[in-house]
């Protein structure tokens, strides 16, 4: 049953990724893969926050099957490392070395900061008194 829930979560995350990357690309253009960058940063924040809020000492108790549904399914379907890799390769093959390098640096640094910020926010909420 867990596999089914992970698959459903993956489908939901994939649809959300498709929607958000399209909105960002339509608004800002397609020269630089801002949509993928946005999705990866927000997905990193969300998984950092959720993992901490539902982990040991977290404020939210959820079943491990729901953690799998959300973190592996939804977040895994939402974030786009394979798209990021393909888009970066396309930029490099098109001779856009600066854009390719910026995409790698921004994606890695911003996603690490986002997952850390999600974790920090959840830790501060976990340490608050009351419910």
pLDDT tens digits along 30-64: 889 999 999 999 999 999 999 999 988 889 999 99
pLDDT, average across residues 103-126? 95
In tens, the pLDDT along 1-12 reads: 899 999 999 999
Closest CA to 68 of 1, 117, 125, 114: 1
**Predicted pLDDT of residue 81:** 86
Query: pTM of the full predicted structure?
Result: 0.82
Residues 6 or more apart whose CB falls under 8 angstroms from that of 109 comprise none
């Amino acid at each position: 049953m867990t596999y089914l829930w992970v698959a459903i979560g993956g489908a939901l995350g994939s649809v959300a990724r498709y929607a958000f990357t399209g909105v960002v690309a339509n608004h800002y253009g397609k020269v630089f893969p801002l949509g993928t960058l946005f999705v990866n940063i927000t997905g990193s924040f969300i998984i950092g926050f959720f993992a901490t809020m539902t982990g040991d000492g977290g404020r939210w108790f959820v079943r491990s099957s729901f953690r799998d549904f959300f973190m592996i399914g939804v977040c895994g379907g939402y974030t786009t490392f394979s798209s990021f890799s393909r888009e970066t390769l396309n930029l490099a093959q098109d001779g856009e070395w600066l854009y390719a390098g910026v995409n790698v640096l921004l994606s890695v640094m911003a996603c690490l900061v986002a997952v850390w910020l999600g974790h920090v926010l959840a830790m501060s909420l976990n340490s608050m008194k009351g419910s």
